[in-house]
Amino acid sequence: MSAGRAGRRPTAPRAPCRPAGRELARSLDQAQIELLRGLDDGEGAVLAEIIDQYLAQTVEGHSDLVRVTGEGDAQGLVQVAHKLRGASANVGAVVLAEICSELEAQGRAGRLEAPPAWSSGSMPSSAVPATP
């Protein structure tokens, strides 16, 4: 260990799963989040359940997107992207809704170009809302 590092504790890598600052503001529709939070007078239990269900749906949607893209199924891409776009918009996940809208348009045009992050098995962290 070098003298400059002696006595210093190693730092944990930063978690990439929560966007910060402006990126978070752009990623989420705060008005939609507040609307969902208000479903149970601000308690947050309903919002947490909705987000849990949404996260499960995005995992399935991601798998479906990778599958239909790999199969060259443009109509399947349209259907999966449309479903995921709607779910994302409903929970205020603006960035993921935008990505899915682009994928839906690509499918309608017969282009099957999944974003590299999706086809490699990961999802853009800024696209998915964090639980409150």
Q: Dump pLDDT digits (tens) for 3-26.
A: 444 443 333 333 344 445 555 567
* Angle value at C-alpha 92, between 90 and 93, nearest 5 degrees: 105
Tokens found for residue 50: 């909705």
Cα–Cα distance, 98 to 116 (Å, whole number): 16
Q: Are 108 and 78 in contact (CB under 8 A)?
A: yes
- Contact by Cβ (8 Å): 91, 69: no
pLDDT digits (tens, 9 = 90+) for 69-113: 999 999 999 999 999 999 999 999 999 999 999 999 999 999 886
Q: What is the pLDDT of residues 24-79, one digit of tens each?
A: 567 889 999 999 999 988 888 999 999 999 999 999 999 999 999 999 999 999 99
Q: Tell me, what's the pLDDT at 91?
A: 95
- Domains, the chain, in order of start with CATH, read 21-127 (1.20.120.160)
Chain position carrying tokens 């994928």: 103
